[in-house]
Amino acid sequence: MNGAQALVRMLEQHGVTHVFGIPGAKVDSLFIALLDSPIKLVLCRHEQNAAFMAQAMGRLTGRVGVCAVTSGPGVTNLLTGMATATSEGDPVLAIGGEVPLEDRFKHTHQVLDGVDVMRPVTKYAQSALMIHDLPEVFGNAVRAAEGGRPGAAFLGLPRDVGLADFPTEPSPAWGQPVCLGAAAPAAIERAAALINAASRPMVLLGLQSSRAGLATSLQAFLQAAGIPYGSTFQGAGEWAAPDQFVGRLGLFVNQPANQLLDAADCVITVGFDAIEFDPSLWNTGNPRPVVAIDVLPVEQDQAFLPAVELIGDLAATLEALSPQLHVSVEEAYRRSGDALHAELMATAAEGAAMDGMPVHPLRVIHELRQVVTPDTTLALDVGSHYIWMNRYFPAAHARQVLVSNGQQTLGVALPWAMACNLCRPGMPVISSSGDGGFLFTATELETARRLGCRFVHLIWNSHSYDMVSFQEQAHYGRTAGVQLGDYGVPAFAEAFGCKGYRITAADQLGPVLREALTQPVPVLIDIPIDYSQNLKLMQNVHQDFIH
């Protein structure tokens, strides 16, 4: 076999089911090798979208999602997707073609040092400069992508290395994960003593708390501890322990759960990354102890300097910590948490009676709650809609709702919806975006139709980049660079062989959603949206924290 065939064999041994990409002369040996593999090649319309699809596959499975592109612009077009994956803890392996080794230092067609380009946005970036190097680079790239806090890795494949003879059958040991144990017993004892001494403790769940394999251990920990908890936008949500949940935190420091976090005398973070919710906004000048439970030591910060760090496998650490907790939560504090959760639910419930046009965000959320089942996956783009959804839409299980909260990357929802179809075949998928973010990646509708994907995509249409608009208005008193034109969503959908609807009355939305979910093709629903109350989302916000 040649190098490309050996690389495909290693992907097969690692359980990879799909490779997303766009071909080119420097990487075509890999595409040809995939013809003889059970791995399905998904031919995309843009390399960035291939990276987004690989990212969603990695997030949902916990194993590397894989994308493959040619050299030069093929590699540079991956950058946004790779940065998003690394920021948000999703394992991705990108394979980038490179010019032959003899041309590596010439100013020739599509020459580019992909490793230097990729190094700032990945956990690992290296090229296989000899056929001997190929399995070593593959193994280390996969381990880097999947290990610790997951992220993206890059493997450069020079054209001649892909075509070179590979002498032996690759070992299945390349890239195999390393199992971690629980945190150190002495650290667990110290953490338990701090938590047990608190009367107003609160748990803050971060992005790694929503990994599917952690669900049982996390639920047992929360229920055994009996501590109120909040969650970042990507953290485990209400499903983990509904009676203790006080809401999501992040972006703006004015949500109900922030009140409980401010009053807490001990904070326990689980799988939390500071990129999700800047500690300077919620922990500055507060002398209370922080207990950090994670797979890696935290990046120390003046506002995030844990008293104890429990570093190890999250499930094993939570299971070891739970029996040592005997927490007596102050009754007034507990009642405050219950009241905050009730406040969230009461606000969400108001949507049922909102029948004006354009449609109020809470009405959209109300209608979604009528059709979303535990089998449904939701993929959210970034924009005003994702703030409303993260505040008021509950998740039923781990990674049911996918969001981009590290880089806040526009355009992810549609490619993620396609990956959800492939990863969870036969299960319903609903994605959403603003009218601006939708066109970032809308050309992949052709790919979706070709693959036989089925999903419903909601376009919250304000004819603007509204998330930017209302923050500019709050900060400067006027807006700039946010107004967009109109486009015909139903006609756009039909041009790709899909189905499109436009909502003209609020009471149409429910029936249209139910009909859309039965369609055999991707569906777009254009919803004129009323964002007139968006400034309320920023009440009491720190004005230096504007996104």
Other CB atoms within 10 A of residue 517 CB: 18
Instruction: Report the distance separating Cα 369 and Cα 393, nearest Å.
Output: 8
Reduced to 3 states, what is the DSSP secondary structure of residue 79?
Answer: helix
Which pLDDT band, with edges at 50, 70 and 90, does 85 fall under? Answer: very high
The owner of tokens 């070891």 is 320
Instruction: Report the distance separating Cα 331 and Cα 252, nearest Å.
Output: 28
Provide the residue range defining the domain that includes 36: 3-163
Tokens representing 180 are: 């971690």
CA dihedral sign, ordered 355, 360, 363, 364:
positive
- pLDDT surpassing 90 at residue 435: yes
> pLDDT for 440-456, tens place per residue?
999 999 999 999 999 99
Report, as an integer, the average pLDDT of 140-151.
Answer: 97
Other CB atoms within 10 A of residue 488 CB: 12
Tell me which amino acid residue 325 is.
L
The owner of tokens 């590596």 is 104
Residue 23's pLDDT is: 96
Q: Kindly give the residue spans of alpha helices, DSSP state H, lying in 251-290.
A: 256-263, 279-282
- pLDDT surpassing 90 at residue 337: no
Tokens representing 282 are: 């919620």
Closest CA to 399 of 417, 379, 418, 419: 379
Residue 89 lies in a domain: yes
Which pLDDT band, with edges at 50, 70 and 90, does 356 fall under? Answer: very high
Residue 176 lies in a domain: no
Residues of the chain with pLDDT > 90: what percent?
A: 83
Instruction: Report the distance separating Cα 488 and Cα 526, nearest Å.
Output: 9
Whether residues 335 and 364 fall in one domain:
no
> pLDDT for 22-41, tens place per residue?
999 999 999 999 999 999 99
Report, as an integer, the average pLDDT of 78-99.
Answer: 97
Instruction: Report the distance separating Cα 174 and Cα 164, nearest Å.
Output: 19
Phi and psi torsions of 318, nearest 5°? -65, -40
Residue 547's pLDDT is: 38
Q: What is the secondary structure of 339-363 as a DSSP string? A: HHHHHHHHHHHGGGG---SSBPHHH
Whether residues 219 and 103 fall in one domain:
no
Reduced to 3 states, what is the DSSP secondary structure of residue 156?
Answer: strand
Q: Mean pLDDT score of the chain, rounded to an integer?
A: 93
Which pLDDT band, with edges at 50, 70 and 90, does 539 fall under? Answer: low
Whether residues 265 and 304 fall in one domain:
yes
Phi and psi torsions of 188, nearest 5°? -65, -40
Residue 545's pLDDT is: 37
Whether residues 442 and 476 fall in one domain:
yes
Residue 544's pLDDT is: 39
Which pLDDT band, with edges at 50, 70 and 90, does 546 fall under? Answer: very low
Count up the domains in the chain and report the number: 3
Residue 468 belongs to domain with CATH number: 3.40.50.970
Which pLDDT band, with edges at 50, 70 and 90, does 535 fall under? Answer: confident
Whether residues 271 and 194 fall in one domain:
yes
Tokens representing 54 are: 């690989």
Whether residues 202 and 113 fall in one domain:
no
Residue 486's pLDDT is: 94
Whether residues 279 and 368 fall in one domain:
no
Residue 152 lies in a domain: yes
Residue 127's pLDDT is: 97
Would you state the torsion angle of the CA atoms of residues 226, 253, 265, 315, taken in this order, to the nearest 10 degrees? 40
Instruction: Name the pTM for this structure.
Output: 0.95
Among 319, 341, 363, give the residue marking a domain's end: 341
The owner of tokens 């179809």 is 421
Report, as an integer, the average pLDDT of 61-72.
Answer: 97
- pLDDT surpassing 80 at residue 16: yes
Instruction: Report the distance separating Cα 236 and Cα 391, nearest Å.
Output: 13
Report, as an integer, the average pLDDT of 330-352.
Answer: 89
Residue 256's pLDDT is: 77
Residue 234's pLDDT is: 92
> pLDDT for 413-424, tens place per residue?
999 999 999 999
Instruction: Report the distance separating Cα 71 and Cα 65, nearest Å.
Output: 19
Which pLDDT band, with edges at 50, 70 and 90, does 499 fall under? Answer: very high
Quote helix, strand, coil % in the chain, to nearest 5: 45, 15, 40
Tell me which amino acid residue 514 is.
R
Residue 108's pLDDT is: 75
Residue 545 lies in a domain: no
Whether residues 323 and 364 fall in one domain:
no
Reduced to 3 states, what is the DSSP secondary structure of residue 70?
Answer: coil
- pLDDT surpassing 60 at residue 543: no
Whether residues 395 and 417 fall in one domain:
yes
Residues of the chain with pLDDT > 70: what percent?
A: 97
Instruction: Report the distance separating Cα 346 and Cα 222, nearest Å.
Output: 24
Whether residues 233 and 374 fall in one domain:
no
Instruction: Report the distance separating Cα 481 and Cα 256, nearest Å.
Output: 32
Helices 509-516, 361-371: crossing angle, 10 deg rounding: 40
Which pLDDT band, with edges at 50, 70 and 90, does 534 fall under? Answer: confident
Q: Can you count the helices (H) and strands (E) in the chain?
A: 22, 18
Q: Are 226 and 326 in contact (CB under 8 A)?
A: no
Instruction: Report the distance separating Cα 390 and Cα 383, nearest Å.
Output: 11
Q: Which residues in 75-158 belong to E strands, given as ranges?
A: 92-98, 124-127, 152-158
Q: Are 98 and 157 in contact (CB under 8 A)?
A: yes
Phi and psi torsions of 495, nearest 5°? -65, -25
Phi and psi torsions of 465, nearest 5°? -85, 80
Residue 155's pLDDT is: 98
Residue 541's pLDDT is: 38
Residue 470's pLDDT is: 86
Phi and psi torsions of 477, nearest 5°? 80, 5
> pLDDT for 181-213, tens place per residue?
999 999 999 999 999 999 999 999 999 999 878
Phi and psi torsions of 68, nearest 5°? -140, 130
Residue 134 lies in a domain: yes
Which pLDDT band, with edges at 50, 70 and 90, does 533 fall under? Answer: confident
Q: Radius of gyration over alpha carbons of the chain, in Å?
A: 24
Residue 286 lies in a domain: yes
Residue 363's pLDDT is: 97
Which pLDDT band, with edges at 50, 70 and 90, does 239 fall under? Answer: very high
Residue 174 lies in a domain: no
Reduced to 3 states, what is the DSSP secondary structure of residue 468?
Answer: helix
- pLDDT surpassing 80 at residue 255: no
* DSSP at 231: E
Residue 178 lies in a domain: no
Report, as an integer, the average pLDDT of 371-383.
Answer: 96
Whether residues 374 and 513 fall in one domain:
yes
Residue 194 belongs to domain with CATH number: 3.40.50.1220
Among 283, 307, 341, give the residue marking a domain's end: 341
- pLDDT surpassing 80 at residue 254: no
Q: Are 150 and 89 in contact (CB under 8 A)?
A: yes
CA atoms within 13 A on the CB side of 200: 13
Q: Are 497 and 414 in contact (CB under 8 A)?
A: no
Whether residues 240 and 320 fall in one domain:
yes
Angle formed at CA 286 by CA 285 and CA 288, multiple of 5 degrees: 150
Residue 343's pLDDT is: 83
- pLDDT surpassing 80 at residue 103: no
Q: What is the secondary structure of 165-199 as a DSSP string? A: B--SPPPTTTT------PPPHHHHHHHHHHHHH-S
Report, as an integer, the average pLDDT of 501-514.
Answer: 98
Among 114, 130, 163, give the residue marking a domain's end: 163
Phi and psi torsions of 423, nearest 5°? -80, -35
- pLDDT surpassing 70 at residue 260: yes
264 CB-contact burial (10 Å; exposed 0-12 / middle 13-18 / buried 19+): buried
Evaluate the omega torsion of the peptide bond into residue 520 and state whether it is cis, within 30 degrees of 0: no
